[in-house]
Amino acid sequence: MEHAPKAIDVTNDVEMRTFNFFTMGIDGHPLGLHLDMAIPTILNNADEEQQKDWLPKAANREFIATYAQTEMGHGTNLKKLETTATYDPKTQEFVLNSPTITSTKWWPGNLGKSSNYAVVMAQLYTQGKCHGAHPFFVQLRDLNTHKPLKGITVGDIGPKFGMNTVDNGFLQFDHVRTPRRSMFMKHAKVLPDGRYVPPVHDKLNYSAMVFIRAAIVSGMAYHLLVTSTIAVRYSAIRRQGEITPGAGEVKVLDYQTQQHRIFPQLARGLAFRLSGQYIMKLYTQTMDDIRNGDISAVPDLHALSCGLKAVTTHHAALGLEQCRMACGGHGYSQASGFPLHYSVAVGACTYEGENMVMLLQTARHLMKIAKAIRAGQSPKSNKIVDYLFHKGPPKCLIDQAYDTNYRNVLESFEHLARRQTLEVYDKLVQLQQQGRNYEQAWNDCAVELCKATRAHVRTFLARTFVEEIDKISDLSIKSVLQDLLQLYLYYEVTECATGLLEDGFMTGQQHKYAKKKIYEALEKIRPNAVSIVDSFDFQDRELHSVLGRRDGNVYENLLKWAQSSPLNKTDVLPFHHKYLGKMMEEARQRSKI
Ligand SMILES: CCCCCCC/C=C/C(=O)SCCNC(=O)CCNC(=O)[C@H](O)C(C)(C)COP(=O)(O)OP(=O)(O)OC[C@H]1O[C@@H](n2cnc3c(N)ncnc32)[C@H](O)[C@@H]1OP(=O)(O)O
Ligand SMILES: Cc1cc2nc3c(=O)[nH]c(=O)nc-3n(C[C@H](O)[C@H](O)[C@H](O)COP(=O)(O)OP(=O)(O)OC[C@H]3O[C@@H](n4cnc5c(N)ncnc54)[C@H](O)[C@@H]3O)c2cc1C
């Protein structure tokens, strides 16, 4: 196939914009879905003619589009989406319809009030046959009046756990006609006479989700680094209690417990950023390959992006909460910025594929590899999974005096991932031999399948962190980052210790060794902690935090922040005399009787 024209390569730009989304997203960015899902869909699913028409206008913001896939009744199971797009060959149009209440599109960001276009995922029917969910580019509102078009009911879904400045919306179609060419036609097509032309790979229509899953990894890094910055800076000015009696109150950052709470989040933020760059490069390369007719990397990209998305969002949610709790009462104030960052970050555990479902998608990939291993096949030189084919050392070596580039630690992670992958595969086979069907056996192994995925993703994150730090030539920076790497690796060893101890691979003594390395790393990081977070150069406006101010003037600004609250506009609020004052006066009168 001749080289398809390179589409406008906005990936890097989109990656940065996506990265920014996590800051702007916090403020409720009305172009969030336009930039991060609608444009990638046009880039990867529109044919040349459609790109020529839609892309310049989208890039120029002549309209705002969202990505409307999830329905009130279905988010995960795309096969059961109910919105229909039925082809009418007489008029060469699709008729979009929401047949049930549960088919109402529900959740799409910026759908409620901002967007006038949407990428709509609908079950495609032509010549009486359903061909599954396909994307359509549909106008929702008049470009001048912004009123919903005929047959379209659209609005905001109401207040949410967070991100309440984003107008997540609902959308219903009542037999709305849209031209044939509103169907994205790069992969699948419907010809004027209604004949369906299938895509070379039936999941290429899912590429926008893959993009966001890949982008979320760096997004979680962003959230962890931002909240670690807030927690480190505040802990470096907050004095509370003494370590040596009579020596005066210490900075809470000097408490080992405080370091153990915050520094691993810093280290994970770095690890996620490095893997986030890797997966975005893999995404960009795979999309280029697809443009040139090569779909071989699609399964690997899907498996890795699902696993990384699930693991990094989960750890980010836990890590943000640790940073909040480390800041005591002021951490619970909106002034800290934690409620804002947390409520945005945790949404990513759900959107773009609920985490359990994502872990299980990666597990599907791992089970294929386990089958190949059990069949005696050799690896296919795929650096992400080849280690599964190899036999590692029979025993853990993490406490060996000399561990070049943490090879012994990485081999421990590889051992655990290999063991869990093969054990759950063998259980799947055994259950089917005992008469269960595949799907039932799969469900009966689902928790262990998720554990295998987590172990595999941990191995990938750790190896990427080691490899990327190894490439650094500036020795002063390298030594500081190596302290964070040491903390990360041994912290992860203790996090998965159950799995390493379970088969006797690691000894209790080695587990103690790992803890010693953690405490050693905490001590080494402490003197550089503030400089490390300052080096991220986050602006105060993006931290949204009085506690994390670069100038450290927390207390004066905390009072200013409180005094600026609308409640403090007057000393006595009207409700006092209307309710509380009246109640107390009546109580005093009664007590006089
Ligand atoms: C960064 C800032 C932006 C923030 C804004 C975020 C706004 C949020 C937007 C959204 O939330 S958009 C909606 C997100 N929704 C989802 O993610 C839905 C999750 N569900 C799915 O993706 C799919 O249903 C599924 C769970 C992957 C199952 O796929 P399907 O329904 O087609 O089932 P099967 O027919 O069994 O297919 C499985 C088969 O297909 C392969 N596969 C699945 N997805 C992909 C993919 N994207 N790319 C490549 N391959 C894919 C999968 O590996 C299986 O292959 P085999 O194992 O059968 O070989
Ligand atoms: C903040 C936010 C923004 C969003 N933005 C958009 C958007 O812009 N566009 C859009 O289309 N959608 C959007 N969504 C919707 C989001 O993609 C869905 O919520 C998500 O895909 C999960 O689907 P669901 O809500 O239907 O949950 P369900 O799929 O009903 O899942 C409910 C529970 O069941 C479990 N479960 C479901 N299926 C399985 C399975 N096969 N195996 C094991 N467990 C399973 C899940 O893990 C979960 O615990 C957004 C959601 C949020 C929270």
pLDDT in tens, 526-539: 999 999 999 999 99
If you average pLDDT over residues 269-282, what whole number do you get?
98
Residue 198, pLDDT score: 96
Residue 171, CA distances (Å) to 117, 148, 393, 452 in order: 11, 10, 56, 38
Q: How many helices (H) and strands (E) does the chain have?
A: 21, 11
Joined together, the tokens standing for residue 215 give: 């982008």
Is beta strand 117-126 parallel, antiparallel or unpaired with respect to 65-68?
A: parallel
Q: Which atom of ligand 1 is nearest to the CA of 77?
A: 24
| pLDDT tens for each residue of 279-292 | 999 999 999 999 89
CA–CA separation, 395 and 509 (whole Å) = 13
For the CA of 114, the nearest ligand: 2
pLDDT at 246 over 60: yes
Residues paired with 288 in a beta bridge: none
| pLDDT tens for each residue of 359-403 | 999 999 999 999 999 999 999 888 999 999 999 999 999 999 888
> What distance in angstroms lies between residue 215's CA and the mean position of ligand 1's atoms?
15
Q: Which residue ranges have their beta carbon within 6 Å of ligand 2?
A: 33, 67-70, 74-76, 107-109, 163, 168, 347, 350-351, 353-354, 356-357, 360
Joined together, the tokens standing for residue 473 give: 């030539």
CA–CA separation, 105 and 111 (whole Å) = 9
> What distance in angstroms lies between residue 98's CA and the mean position of ligand 1's atoms?
22
**Is 505's C-beta closer than 6 angstroms to any atom of ligand 1?**
no
Residue carrying structure tokens 């998608």: 361
CATH 1.20.140.10 fits 209-377+446-471+480-530, yes or no: yes
Cβ-contact 280, 213 below 8 angstroms: no
| pLDDT tens for each residue of 206-221 | 999 999 999 999 999 9
CA–CA separation, 186 and 73 (whole Å) = 29
**Angle, CA of 219, 16 and 319, to the nearest 5°:** 15
Q: How confident is the model at residue 7 (pLDDT cuts 50, 70, 90)?
A: very low
Q: How confident is the model at residue 593 (pLDDT cuts 50, 70, 90)?
A: confident
Q: Tell me which residue of 388, 364, 371, 372 sits closest to 449, measured CA to CA.
A: 364
Kindly state the DSSP code that residue 405 receives in the 8-state scheme: G
CA–CA separation, 586 and 327 (whole Å) = 42
| pLDDT tens for each residue of 199-208 | 988 889 999 9
**Is 267's C-beta closer than 6 angstroms to any atom of ligand 1?**
no
Q: How confident is the model at residue 24 (pLDDT cuts 50, 70, 90)?
A: very low
Residue carrying structure tokens 């096949």: 377
Residue 381, pLDDT score: 82
pLDDT at 2 over 60: no
CA–CA separation, 75 and 79 (whole Å) = 10
Which residue has the least CA distance to atom 51 on ligand 1? 203
| Residue 530 C-alpha from the chain's centroid | 27
If you average pLDDT over residues 533-556, what whole number do you get?
97
Residue 189, CA distances (Å) to 7, 91, 195, 287, 490 in order: 20, 17, 8, 19, 52
Joined together, the tokens standing for residue 275 give: 């893997």
Element spanning 516, H or E:
helix 508-525
Cβ-contact 185, 136 below 8 angstroms: no
| Cβ count near 516 (within 10 Å) | 12
pLDDT at 20 over 50: yes
Question: Is the sign of the CA dihedral 136, 63, 350, 533 positive or negative?
Answer: positive
Kindly state the DSSP code that residue 578 receives in the 8-state scheme: I
Q: How confident is the model at residue 1 (pLDDT cuts 50, 70, 90)?
A: very low
Q: What is the pTM of this model?
A: 0.95
Residue 8, pLDDT score: 36
Residue 19, pLDDT score: 52
Is 70 annotated as a binding-site member? yes
Residue 14, pLDDT score: 47
**Is 78's C-beta closer than 6 angstroms to any atom of ligand 1?**
yes
Q: Which atom of ligand 2 is nearest to the CA of 105?
A: 11
Residue carrying structure tokens 């505040």: 234
| pLDDT tens for each residue of 310-340 | 999 999 999 999 999 999 999 999 999 999 9
For the CA of 32, the nearest ligand: 1
**Is 307's C-beta closer than 6 angstroms to any atom of ligand 1?**
no
If you average pLDDT over residues 83-95, what whole number do you get?
98
- What are phi and psi for residue 132, nearest 5 degrees? 90, -175
pLDDT at 11 over 70: no
CA–CA separation, 298 and 283 (whole Å) = 9
Joined together, the tokens standing for residue 173 give: 């179609």
**Is 400's C-beta closer than 6 angstroms to any atom of ligand 1?**
no
Q: Which of 76, 313, 445, 448 to mutate to test the pocket of ligand 2 (most atoms within 8 A of CB)?
A: 76
Residue 452, CA distances (Å) to 45, 272, 275, 349 in order: 33, 19, 19, 19
Share of the chain above pLDDT 70, in %: 95
Q: Which of 35, 123, 287, 352 to mutate to test the pocket of ligand 1 (most atoms within 8 A of CB)?
A: 352
pLDDT at 416 over 70: yes
CA–CA separation, 406 and 523 (whole Å) = 19
Cβ-contact 486, 520 below 8 angstroms: yes
Cα distance between the two ends of the chain:
97
Residue carrying structure tokens 């417990």: 257
Spell out the domain ranges in the chain: 4-199, 209-377+446-471+480-530
If you average pLDDT over residues 443-452, what whole number do you get?
98
Cβ-contact 450, 363 below 8 angstroms: yes
Residue 328, pLDDT score: 98
Active site residue 354: no
| pLDDT tens for each residue of 252-265 | 999 999 999 999 99
SS3 118: strand
Joined together, the tokens standing for residue 355 give: 């985490």
Give residues with Cβ within 8 angstroms of 73, minimum separation 6.
80, 82, 100, 101, 102, 103
pLDDT at 25 over 90: no
Give residues with Cβ within 8 angstroms of 365, minimum separation 6.
299, 300, 302, 303, 385
Residue 391, pLDDT score: 93
CA–CA separation, 338 and 361 (whole Å) = 31
pLDDT at 42 over 80: yes
Q: Which of 72, 107, 163 to mutate to test the pocket of ligand 2 (most atoms within 8 A of CB)?
A: 107
Rounded-to-10 torsion of CA 436, 437, 438, 441 = -30
Q: Is 6 left (phi over 0), alpha (psi -120 to 50) or beta?
A: beta
Residues paired with 118 in a beta bridge: 66, 138
SS3 174: coil
Q: Which CATH class is domain 4-199?
A: mainly beta
pLDDT averaged over every residue in the chain: 94
| Residue 370 C-alpha from the chain's centroid | 27
> Same topology for domains 4-199 and 209-377+446-471+480-530, yes or no?
no
Residues 352, 411, 468, 492: which is the catalytic one? Answer: 352
CA–CA separation, 68 and 22 (whole Å) = 20
Joined together, the tokens standing for residue 181 give: 């060419």
